[in-house]
Amino acid sequence: MCKMLIALILLFSVGAAKAFSICPAWISPSRTRTPAERRAAPAVGVAAFAFGLPRNSHHVRKPTSLVASTLQRTGDATDETHDEGGGGHYGDDCEVLLLDHLNINHEKGRHDIVKAFYFDFLGLAVDPRKYENIAAGSKTLWANVGLHQFHLPEGKPDAQVFDGTITLVYGDLDTLIQRYNDFVDDVEPRFRPLKDTEFSLGVLDSDMMMVTCPWGSQFILLRSHEPDEDRAAHLGSQPLVDGHEPSEGLKMEDLTVFVENDSNLEGIGRFYEKVLGAVVVPDLSSESSISIAMGQSQTLTFQHHPDGSEKKVVHHDFSDAGDENYPANYGPHISLYVTNLPKAYQAAGELGVLYVNPRFKRRAYTEDEAIDQCMFRIIDIVDPLDEDRTVICRLEHEVRSAKTRDGKKYKSFPLKSVT
């Protein structure tokens, strides 16, 4: 039934691509989704991207081969959904506390675009630790969304396009739609830096929209039916500039990483279980994807690339400007917190996947250094059952500890309590 519905949407969207503008009054109300349905549903949103079109329809991406893989994933996931309770709770055995941030380069010299998209359009909060860089108009900016962040350093000089999807949750999507219409009508000067970029928006229903960032990264925006739980302010928060409002975005609910179509998804799941003590979420996984819990209500998903079996996927960007042991990586990276850093370090060492990125000042070459710095890095993902340790994919992880060596809370850990 789900696959038939999507097929009808796609057929309709091709014929009606120029018939609709984005308008809150046009979007029909929908029932409240269960957490598992809400996590599976973004695949439908990708497939039906052109269903609700913005007024500058030339910006809208039409359905592509992305449809083929998302149909399978959505059908498998939604057929087995069940109500897990508000926000999605993935069990108490997960040793990953949360996925803290995605680090992705922006185009050098274009702070105006970063501000227009992340702060003015998405309504994310400026992190005070990088606030001075806004006035300077250069260097790294941090954009906060609930407990989570985007770290946005300058490119060399180009921006990076994340090969996957980033799912954010909001209390209300109508404001974002109005901002987009203001951008299209050119009535808001703050959005003008987004002109002549990849920026676009498409709406599926009142619960979901797709946004393409100015450089081409894909965002899925979902409406929350439990905003307080999704923001989780009772659990913690990122710092806030004095006098500023909290982020309109409530959380980063999922980060989906595309991988090549012959990638060993079960092996990826075993890697996260072995090294980080994470938990695979079967109800959100399928033959073409695997979802891994990042704490109680957040997931990291690996999905076969929608562009097909010939698509080569690279998430790293090695440079010769490394040290004698490790190349520097200038590709995107993720940061996450674990309950037991020494355990994770030792497990990574057993698999031979420890990594030091000379790009950054903090470098942990030993377990003691990792404990002192409350972090270490990995980049190769391998199947623990594979004796050859064949690399399935590469994605840099900054693995952080919630606690310092003396048991106190690490200064950047956003949760109030230390597990």
3-state secondary structure 96-138: EEEEEEEECCECCCCHHHHHHHHHHHCCCEECHHHCHHHHHCC
pLDDT of residue 88: 62
| Average pLDDT estimate for 241-263 | 97
Q: pTM for this one? A: 0.83
CA distance 179 to 121: 7
Residue of higher predicted confidence among 35 and 268: 268
pLDDT of residue 74: 37
**pLDDT for residue 132 is more than 90:** yes
**DSSP symbols for 243-263:** TPPPPSEEEEEEEEEEE-TT-
Residue 225, token pair as written in the block: 């039916």
| Contact between 100 and 149 (Cβ < 8 Å) | yes
Grade residue 179 by pLDDT with cuts at 50, 70 and 90: very high
**pLDDT for residue 46 is more than 90:** no
pLDDT of residue 247: 98
pLDDT of residue 71: 31
Tell me what the pLDDT averaged over the chain comes to. 83
Name 64's Cβ contacts closer than 8 Å, sequence gap at least 6. 306, 307
CA distance 168 to 178: 18
Parallel, antiparallel or unpaired: strands 148-152 and 96-103: parallel
pLDDT of residue 17: 33
Residue of higher predicted confidence among 228 and 61: 228
Tens digit of pLDDT for each residue in 323-356? 778 999 999 999 999 999 999 999 999 999 999 9
| Contact between 45 and 165 (Cβ < 8 Å) | no
| Average pLDDT estimate for 314-322 | 87
Domain that holds residue 355: 1-419
| Contact between 202 and 62 (Cβ < 8 Å) | no
| Average pLDDT estimate for 273-294 | 97
pLDDT of residue 55: 32
| Cα–Cα distance list, 389 to 152, 309, 349, 352, 354 (Å) | 32, 22, 12, 8, 13
**pLDDT for residue 77 is more than 60:** no
Name 34's Cβ contacts closer than 8 Å, sequence gap at least 6. 81, 82, 83, 84
| Contact between 34 and 84 (Cβ < 8 Å) | yes
The residue type at 362: R
Grade residue 224 by pLDDT with cuts at 50, 70 and 90: very high
Cis peptide before 157 (omega within 30 of 0): yes
Tens digit of pLDDT for each residue in 343-393? 999 999 999 999 999 999 999 999 999 999 999 999 999 999 999 999 999
pLDDT of residue 36: 45
Q: What percent of the chain is predicted at pLDDT more than 70?
A: 78
pLDDT of residue 177: 96
Residue of higher predicted confidence among 90 and 399: 399
Residue of higher predicted confidence among 410 and 319: 410
Longest dimension (CA), the chain: 63
CA distance 240 to 252: 17
CA distance 394 to 350: 18
pLDDT of residue 91: 64
Q: Strand pairing partners for 193?
A: none
| Average pLDDT estimate for 233-243 | 94
CA distance 335 to 375: 10
Residue of higher predicted confidence among 256 and 33: 256
Parallel, antiparallel or unpaired: strands 375-382 and 391-401: antiparallel
| Cα–Cα distance list, 110 to 113, 137, 186, 311, 394 (Å) | 5, 8, 20, 30, 28
pLDDT of residue 419: 61
**pLDDT for residue 192 is more than 90:** yes
Grade residue 135 by pLDDT with cuts at 50, 70 and 90: confident
pLDDT of residue 274: 98
CB atoms within 10 A of CB 361: 6
Q: Strand pairing partners for 375?
A: 400
Domain count, the chain: 1
Within 13 Å, how many C-alpha atoms sit on residue 68's CB side? Answer: 9
**pLDDT for residue 186 is more than 60:** yes
